[in-house]
Amino acid sequence: MKCKKAYFIMLRHLSSIVLLLILLSPKDVLASSRSTPWLYEPRTMTKGEVEYEQWITWKTNKKSDSRYEEFRFRHEIEWGVTDAFQLAFYVADWRHKRTSNEEHTYFHDIAVEAIYQLQAPNPDQMGVALYGEVKYGSEFFELEGKLLFELELDQVNFLYNFGIEAEWEGQDFDEDKGKIENAFALTYQPTPSKTFGLQAIWEVEFPDWSEQGDDVVYIGPSISTQSDGWWLAVSPLFQVTNIDSEPDLQVRFLFGIDF
């Protein structure tokens, strides 16, 4: 009950902030931005551009644990090394987690991410980029690779991310698992500074890389706005499968500031 109340309060606050910023934002002035919080786009920053990006992800409503609630925070610095290559440093990923057994706030990891653009999306060609990420934390190590695609059709875009992830946990990093992710998005850009979208994510886990584990699908809308020097994006995702150990609702809020 408490969880539901917090969920509605948070949704109301987020919606108010987003609507206010959309109304206040000047038309057609831009910053480098993300329009889909759960997918990456093959657009990279211009050379020399630096941006601070803040992530907040809220996860709740797990059938296997009625008290479950988690907030994940990421502080990220992005840097355009060349017009087609960008690096990002996750200065800190930290989390606040509440379960039936405990409630604690803890540091999770730091990370480096690289995106290399093979082809920028434009009306003539589909955008393609390679994505790589290395995460390291206390008793945690992760490698992630993605292929990013974007098809630009006037004001409508199709995005597809294929990702594969390998994770090692435990004192001796002996608990390993893999994950394959397919993510799709359809977005509509009524003006260059505003984007509305629909996102779907299909994740398959492989504990110990031996057998297929949970197979979970999330779907949800997204909205983003950008202005001169800043942008923000928000997207709730709802679980459409029936995996009790995964949260039924995840909300991701991102904002960036250009330097």
Binding site for other proteins (CB under 8 A): 28-33, 43-46, 83, 120-124, 152-157, 186, 189, 192-193, 226, 228
Identify which of residues 43 and 146 has a Cβ nearer to other proteins in the complex.
43
Written as six digits, the tokens of 112 are 């480096």
Count of C-beta atoms within a 10 Å radius of residue 165: 19
Residue 195 beta carbon to other proteins: minimum distance, rounded to whole angstroms: 8
Cβ proximity to other proteins: between 20 and 156 the closer is 156
- The residue (of 28 and 139) whose beta carbon lies closer to other proteins is 28
Minimum CB separation of residue 257 from other proteins in Å reads 15
Q: Return d(Cα 117, Cα 46) in angstroms, integer.
A: 11
Closest CB 249 distance from other proteins, rounded Å: 22
Question: Minimum distance between the CB of residue 213 and other proteins, rounded to whole angstroms?
Answer: 23
Closest by CA to 36, choosing from 211, 198, 153, is 198
DSSP for 144-177, written as a single string: EEEEEEEEEETTEEEEEEEEEEEEEESTTS-EEE
Single-letter code of the amino acid located at 125: Q
Distances from the Cα of 139 to the Cα of 75, 135, 176, 224, angstroms:
21, 11, 11, 35
Question: For other proteins, which is the closer residue by CB, 11 or 186?
Answer: 186
Q: C-beta of 253: minimal distance to other proteins in Å?
A: 21
Report the chain's terminal Cα–Cα distance, integer Å: 42
User: Residue 25 or 44: which CB sits closer to other proteins?
Assistant: 44
The three-state secondary structure class of 84 is coil
Nearest distance in Å: CB 63, other proteins: 24
CB closer to other proteins out of 33 and 161? 33
Report the distance separating Cα 121 and Cα 162, nearest Å.
17
